[in-house]
Each structure stands twice: as structure tokens, then as C-alpha cells.
Amino acid sequence: MSIFDSSLISAAFWIAKGTGLTVALIVGAMFLGLIVGLPMAAIQVYGPRWARFLVMVYVWFFRGIPILVLLFLFYFGVFSPLEAWLTKFFGVRINLPFLASVTTLGLASGAYQSQIFRGAMLSLHMGQYEAALSLGFTRLGALVNIILPQALRIAIPAWANEYSILLKDSAIAYVLGTLEIMSRIKLMVATFHMHVPFYILAGFIYYFLTWLGIKALKKLEAKTRIPGLGSDGDAHFPEANEEIGTDERLEENPNAKPVPKPA
């Protein structure tokens, strides 16, 4: 069969639509994980003991159960009854596989993202938070205006890693009938009986999406980088420290003893 066969060209366009659905799935799941993960991270660092315990239970639940099991739990335990109820009382039908996949992957990603942002917040000096409170900020105001902007910047590299992991996890969503990349690839394999070429194509698409997303996040990291400020939020000026010699020190304080440069 020629690669220019019309049926194969139609299959390529159909798989491209699945790629778009995968992108929508990942964007939705990452955004939901961000909404869930940020507040939980703040609670773990600055919240009361009982709230930290609840967040810990949530995190261990989603980190301890495989994604495949979570997909089935939410699909049959939450969204199937919800769809039946909406259909019965309101006549509304929803894209059940896609909604279940986005929600499950997003909630699971929220557990992991909470640890990413928690680490970023802990890397900041507690004195910044305390200083904001002493200046009249509320606890929420100090968190939103002082802590979160810095934590989000610091978390970008780890967030890029979470994106690549979530992208690969999304391939499991085909078990619910979500028409993403792997679901369409499997249908094409069954139709054309060409296993290796189609699975190579799937690998190439996932590789390209991973490269594209990480490249975009690296550009965001470079754009938000603050000169002289390390990834841990502390100031680092190695070049300036190396260039400060005895002459400059003596000019500032004539009574100071010369400090030799390290060998």
C-alpha cells in the first residue's frame, strides 16, 4: 500500500485531530492541577495542622494509586452516574470519556504539582513572609503578592518535568474511549494491519509534543529569570565578588586591612 493512498491520507488527518484532542486534554489537566496544587502547597507550608493533614491524605491517595485505576474509579464511580442524572433530569449529554480523563489526570497532577510548589515555597526565606506581615499585609496578601510570584518562577523547571510526565500518562486515557492519539492509532492499526509504522508515528507525535512544550517552558523560564537571583530565591553575584579586590575595599575604608584574593 502506497503512503499516498487516499485512505492513509485520511487516516493521517484523523490522527491529527486526535493530536489536537491530546493537547486539549493536557492543557486542561495541567490547568486543573495548577488550580488544585497551588492552594494545597500554600496550606502545607503556611496552613494549620488539621488542613495539612487533609492535604497529605489527598496527596498520598492520588500518588499511591495508579492512573489506570483512578481513571476507572472516576469514570464508573463519578461520571457515569453524573451523566445518567443529567440526561434524566435535564436531557444533557456530556463527552464522558474526555471529561473523566481531564478531571482524573488534573486531580492526580494537582497532587504532584502541590509538591513542586511546596518545594518552591520552602526555598524562599521565611523572613520575606514575616516581613510582609510586619508591613501590614494580611496572611493571604503576603502569600499572593510576595510568595506566589517567586514560587511560580522557581517552579517552572519542575513544572516542565510534570508536563512531560502528564503527556505520557495521557496515553492511558484511550481505555475510556477518549479519541486522543493512542486511541486513534490503535484503530488505524486494526484497520490497516500496519503495527510498526503507526506506533512509530505515535512515538514521533508524543516526542514532538514533549519537545515543543518543554521548549516553550524553557523560554518562559528565561523570560522570567531575574539577573543575580538564583533559582532558590537568594542573590548570587559571583562575578562581582570575584572582581572586588583590595583596592576597592581600601578606597571605601582606608583603615581596613587588605584582604588577599583566594588562590
**What does the DSSP assignment read for 35-82?**
HHHHHHHHHHHHS-HHHHHHHHHHHHHHHHS-HHHHHHHHIIIIIHHH
Cα 81 from Cα 66, distance rounded (Å): 22
- Torsion angles phi and psi, residue 229, rounded to 5: -115, 120
> How does pLDDT run across 132-188, given as a tens digit for each residue?
888 888 888 888 888 888 899 999 999 999 999 999 999 999 898 888 899 899 888
Q: Outline where DSSP puts E strands in 160-212.
A: none
Kindly report the average pLDDT of the chain as a whole number: 83
Give start-end residues of each CATH 1.10.3720.10 domain in the chain.
6-225
- Report long-range pairs for 194-198 (Cβ below 8 Å, ≥24 apart): 194/1
Cα 149 from Cα 38, distance rounded (Å): 11
- The reported pLDDT for the residue numbered 249 is 38
- Torsion angles phi and psi, residue 235, rounded to 5: -75, 135
Contact between residue 239 and residue 200 where contact means Cβ atoms under 8 Å apart:
no
- The residue with cell 512531560 is 164
Position 43 confidence tier, pLDDT thresholds 50, 70, 90: very high
Assigned CATH class of 6-225:
mainly alpha
**Nearest alpha-carbon partner for 155 in 185, 113, 189, 194:** 113
- The reported pLDDT for the residue numbered 161 is 92
> Looking at residue 123, what DSSP letter applies?
T
Query: Does residue 106 register a pLDDT over 50?
Result: yes
